[in-house]
Homo-oligomer: A and B are copies of this chain.
Amino acid sequence: MASREHRTSHTVDVEVRYAETDQMGVVHHANYLVWFELARTGLCALSGHDYPSIEKAGYLILVTEAELRYHRGARYGDRVQVEVWLDRLESRGLRFSYEVRRAGERLAAGRTHHLWVEAGTGQVCRIPSPWKEAFAGLRR
Interface residues of A (CB under 8 A from B): 15, 17-19, 21-26, 28-31, 33-34, 37-38, 41, 50-52, 55, 60, 62-70, 75-77
Q: How far is the CB of A5 from chain B (nearest CB, A)?
A: 27
Kindly state the separation between the CA atoms of A15 and B39 in the bound complex, as whole angstroms: 11
Are the C-beta atoms of A18 and B33 separated by less than 8 Å? no
Kindly state the separation between the CA atoms of A70 and B24 in the bound complex, as whole angstroms: 22
Are the C-beta atoms of A22 and B21 separated by less than 8 Å? yes
Kindly state the separation between the CA atoms of A67 and B70 in the bound complex, as whole angstroms: 12
CB contacts (< 8 Å) of A69 on chain B: these are 64-65
> Would you list 19 pairs from A and B whose C-beta atoms are within 8 A, ordered by A residue?
A15-B38, A17-B37, A18-B23, A18-B51, A19-B28, A19-B34, A22-B23, A23-B23, A23-B55, A24-B60, A24-B62, A30-B30, A30-B31, A62-B70, A65-B67, A65-B68, A66-B66, A66-B68, A67-B67
